[in-house]
Amino acid sequence: MSIELNIANANGYFTDDELRILRSATSSVWGFLDSHFKMDYGVNLVVAKPMHFFPVIPEDGINARTYEYDFMMLCVDKLPHDILFDRVFEIVCHEMSHSIRWKKIPEFADTLFENAIMEGLAVVLEEVGIREMGRKSQQFFLSAMQKAPKETIYSVIREFGDSLHSSRYNYERDFFTGSDTLPRWSGYMLGYHLVKEYLDKTGDSIFDATLASYSNFKKVLEI
């Protein structure tokens, strides 16, 4: 089993060298995950240039989404950014966190809190993965998670208020765009810091936590 790359390259957008980077990075993700999760299923990954309905993170020139446990898309804007092994590794590792949870445990995120935990788990897994590879993070996105001060996290929790444990919330605003009172990527930032707190309190590894129920996080974090 592996990540099967399906590269949309009919017009030669990606060079041979770039294709090698994409293949090497995704193969390395699989090797890293298989050493911890004993991967027993395959994943289809479609790789393409950016599209109007699938924009990239401007600072990183890359974005990805997981639609099913065995299907995800990766878009890469190579014009302002070189295609880097580390960026591809990190974002594919992030998406594979979702894939693993959806495949291996019978629950899905419903509330804002649960979605924040799901994304936090993915951010921490990519952080650990790039460290285990002995490489340095190249992502602006990951850096933004790591540098968010505690005051910002407390502010996000206050702003989310009762909606934190509700399934009725503004997903686009809370996880992506932000607002006058919420920073960009608020849900990701909150999830990252909550997952780190959970790991500190329980002593679990990110590999254990990736397969933990959301109810465990609620109980340990008391939030």
* β-strands 3-7, 62-68 pairing: unpaired
What integer pLDDT is reported at residue 80 of this predicted model? 81
How is residue 49 annotated by DSSP? Answer: -
Check whether residue 96 and residue 177 sit in a common domain.
no
Extended beta strands in 12-168, E state:
43-48, 62-68, 71-76
Higher pLDDT, 138 or 209: 209
- The count of structural domains within the chain is 2
Report the distance separating Cα 152 and Cα 23, nearest Å. 37
Report the distance separating Cα 12 and Cα 8, nearest Å. 9
Q: With contact defined as beta carbons under 8 Å apart, do 93 and 126 qualify?
A: yes
Domain extent at residue 10: 3-104
Check whether residue 78 and residue 49 sit in a common domain.
yes
**For all residues of the chain together, what is the average pLDDT?**
96
Domain C-terminal end among 70, 85, 104: 104
Check whether residue 23 and residue 44 sit in a common domain.
yes
138-194 pLDDT tens trace: 899 999 999 999 999 999 999 999 999 999 999 999 999 999 999 999 999 999 999
149-163 pLDDT tens trace: 999 999 999 999 999
